[in-house]
Amino acid sequence: MRLSRSLSITSLSGLPLWEEESLPVQDLLLFEVSWEVTNKVGGIYTVIQTKAKITVDEWGENYIMMGPYYEHNFKTQVEKCEPPNQAIKAAMDSLNNNGCQVHFGRWLIEGSPYVILFDIGAAAWNLDRWKGDLWNACSIGLPYHDREANDSLIFGSLVAWFFKELTDQLQDKPNVIAHFHEWQAGTGLVLSRSRKIPLATVFTTHATLLGRYLCAGNADFYNNLDKFNIDQEAGERQIYHRYCLERAAVHCAHVFTTVSQITAVEANHMLHRQPDVVTPNGLNVRKFSAMHEFQNLHSMNKAKIQEFVRGHFYGHLDFNLEKTLFFFIAGRYEFSNKGADLFLESLSRLNYLLRVHKSDVTVVVFFIMPAKTNNFNVESLKGQAVRKQLWDTAQSVKEKFGKRLYESLLRGEIPDMSKILDRDDFTIMKRAIYATQRHTFPPVTTHNMLDDSTDPILSNIRRIGLFNGRNDRVKIVFHPEFLSSTSPLLPMDYEEFVRGCHLGVFPSYYEPWGYTPGECTVMGIPSVTTNLSGFGCFMEEHVSDPSEYGIYIVDRRFRSADESCNQLTQFLFSFCQQSRRQRIIQRNRTERLSDLLDWRYLGRFYMHARHLALSRSFPGKFKMDHLNLTQGFRYPRPASVPPSPSASLHSTPHHSDEEDDDTYDEEEEAEKDRQNIKAPFTLGAESALSCSSSSDSRTYLHPLPSENVLYLSDCSF
């Protein structure tokens, strides 16, 4: 069956047309299987939730998600309904009639996709039998005490059982594509293939299981990828059975994908299979009708953060809030993997540089990472109460002052300023001032920490001595809880908070993709990432000079920890030197990169994976023309930035003075960027995987300053 041309992705302005042919979706059913369907656990939830709309737009009612059933999630996130497809209904009835519980409905997210949810607890009585089936199929045994692995086996067995019933009903028309995410869902893929169920299968690993464990244990991961004894490492961490399930799923799938090229290299060593396609993670990007609107949102939300800072630092508010920058790091509390260790060390050096240069800029840094706490601390709550009391006092005095001034002007008199405010007014103001006196430093953390003495962030703050002193130009606020608009301290949602900050800093050591810098980009907020994150690799590949677009990429792959820290410090210090106008220009450029992260564009990689899976599983019915994998684009340097002496050298984060010229035109520069998109970039991972992961392939260009050493390699990362 020849595949017809797709027009569904060609409407994205500025990006090249997609030349691949679309699938005859009316003759197919697409199932996406993940542990995080309606069940928020980690980043995969964001992937499948945000991708749902473009997939539903393409597939309509022929797209169904599959996940575990949890009663609370089902009641709050799913609208129960009957399956529109009779074959699906018959397959579900078969499972329900055999003692299992299967639920169907619409997931109440954008796109409203259909979901099939399997009740794991109701089918647990089959666990021992299914363990035997798994052993007979692939000789993998699961220990009784690993509940997560046992649950994944029950889930996978139910999924495979459903697919067997479904394909028996369909009789090869329509054909079925099943896309599995991560090892928890991979058991269903292994059992489906061992039972020869006629499916086209795709498996995506968002991060290898062993890679997470090794990096969490502070291993020198990327320099020793080819030296690890994989079986031994997995066995020592008591995850050998999980690793075997993951590896079995990878090798059973018709098409294997990863979310980034850095993860593709990792998977090649950890799982011993080269990914067929790299499927980068995207977001649903909403463009404002007026280009300046996101800048207005930045100003509004920055004002909210400033109010928090006024209360938190009362009594020590001897810095100008109009010259204060807000940096932040957010995510799971993985101290080393997320780069919090490198960030804290660079903040210490940044504080030194700002003090030595007598800078009038102050940096307030927020750590938004959930940890074990015992509610808000008293000092933080008191700070917000004092701020509110001062505001009320000022408003009361202002009303009296305004009324007396108004009456004096009505009488035709120039008011005597010494008589407009009486003694009581001065008394009230003096009492308010005395109430703001503080004999201790503003608190570093907003909550009472349960493990205060051993907490990694607090321990390192004690080591570097950043205690929010008056002389410190870098202040730290550790908020060990996710943000909420109902909080009595910082009443903001995460999106509002990000829009109000100036820079997101995510110097991760292990980050298969990295949604946090991606979210900053689509909101027009500059960010710091690394060349060990999927997002950083993606931006290096698609943008000629990422730093000019507000994407600062720290080299953690080919530099020592100290060199990486110096580079990060230089990025932060240069950002502090920018003028307000330069920051506005940079935010405009950052927001323009959001097209690169839109699912309307990145969804094509998933389309390609499905095409490939069908051509491999049903070669007699589906044929696929050769696809030019180098068809793509690359953003040039911004038009208003003067060319550097060498095209290969990255510019510094600090903008040139020419950008302060009034000749800068945002609309004109944006249009030039859209017109100058040009090749090349790589769709698949094969070109990257053919490169050596060893640093021996580097070429050093001399003479250059140590901070500008350039590494040339065949690898794009």
3-state secondary structure of 624: coil
Q: What's the CATH number for 25-278?
A: 3.40.50.2000
Q: Give me the residue label for tokens 């008056």.
A: 470
454 near 342, Cβ under 8 Å?
Answer: no
Exposure class string for 249-270: b at 16+ Cβ within 10 A, else e: bbebbbbbbbbbbbbbbbbbbb
Give buried/exposed letters for 283-298 (b at 16+ CB in 10 A, else e).
Answer: bbbeeeeeeeebbebb
pLDDT score recorded for residue 401: 84
- In the sheet that holds 175-181, the strands lie side by side as 78-80, 102-107, 114-118, 63-68, 28-33, 175-181, 200-205, 255-258, 277-278
Span 292-376+443-597 CATH architecture: 3-Layer(aba) Sandwich (3.40)
- State the pLDDT at residue 454: 94
pLDDT tens, residue by residue, 238-281: 999 999 999 999 999 999 999 999 999 999 999 999 999 999 99
d(CA 183, CA 576): 43
**Residues listed for the chain:** 717
Q: How much is the pLDDT for 289?
A: 62
DSSP 443: P
Q: Is 416 left (phi over 0), alpha (psi -120 to 50) or beta?
A: beta
Which pLDDT belongs to residue 462? Answer: 96
DSSP 156: H
SS3 of 27-42: the string is HEEEEEECCCCCCCCC
Q: Do 25-278 and 292-376+443-597 agree at the fold level?
A: yes
| pLDDT, averaged in runs of 10, over the chain (717 residues) | 35 44 83 95 90 94 96 95 94 95 96 97 95 95 94 97 95 91 96 96 96 88 93 95 97 96 94 95 81 88 96 92 97 93 97 96 97 93 90 85 85 79 81 83 95 95 95 96 93 96 96 94 96 94 91 95 96 96 94 90 91 92 63 66 51 46 67 54 38 35 32 31
What is the separation of C-alpha 351 from the centre of its chain, rounded to a whole number of angstroms?
28
- List the chain domain ranges: 25-278, 292-376+443-597, 378-440
Both tokens of residue 411? 């009488």
DSSP secondary structure letters along 311-378: HHTTT---S-GGGEEEEEEESS--TTTTTHHHHHHHHHHHHHHHHHTT---EEEEEEE----EEEE-H
Q: What is the DSSP string of 465-484?
A: T----TT-SEEEEEE-S--B
Q: Find the helix or strand (DSSP H, E) in which 700 lies.
A: strand 699-700
Q: Which string of b and e fits 23-45 if b means at least 16 CB within 10 Å?
A: bebeebbbbbbbbbbbbeeebbb
Tens-digit pLDDT profile for residues 641-660:
766 544 444 444 444 444 44
Q: Where are the beta strands (DSSP E) in 501-627?
A: 503-505, 527-530, 551-554
User: What is the structure's pLDDT at 590?
Assistant: 94
Phi, psi angle pair for 117, to nearest 5°: -120, 130
Question: H or E segment at 201?
Answer: strand 200-205
Alpha-carbon distance of 557 to 698, in angstroms, equals 11
Q: Which residues are CB-neighbours of 249 under 8 A, at least 6 positions away?
A: 180, 183, 186, 187, 189, 190, 203
| Two tokens, residue 359 | 């800078």
Name the helix (H) or strand (E) containing 216: helix 209-216
Measure the CA–CA gap between 471 and 469, rounded to whole angstroms.
6
Do residues 51 and 110 make contact, with C-beta atoms less than 8 angstroms apart?
no
Q: Is the dihedral of CA 335, 562, 693, 681 positive or negative?
A: positive
Query: What's the first-to-final CA gap in the chain, in angstroms?
Result: 38
Question: Do residues 37 and 77 lie in contact, with contact meaning Cβ atoms separated by under 8 Å?
Answer: no
H or E element that contains 517: helix 515-522
Phi, psi of 144 (to 5 degrees): -65, -25
Whole-model pTM: value is 0.85
Q: Report the alpha-carbon distance of residue 627 to residue 612 in Å, rounded.
A: 10
| Cα separation, 578 vs 237, whole angstroms | 47
Q: Collapse the DSSP code of 96 into the 3-class scheme (helix H, G, I; strand E, B; otherwise coil) and give the result.
A: helix
Contacts of residue 491, defined as CB under 8 A and 6 or more positions apart, other chains included, come to 304, 484, 485
Sequence-distant (≥ 6) Cβ neighbours of residue 368 within 8 angstroms:
328, 329, 330, 331, 479, 482, 483, 494, 497
Q: Which of 495, 477, 487 is nearest to 301 (CA)?
A: 495
Surface-to-core class of residue 549, CB atoms within 10 Å of its CB (0-12 exposed, 13-18 middle, 19+ buried): buried
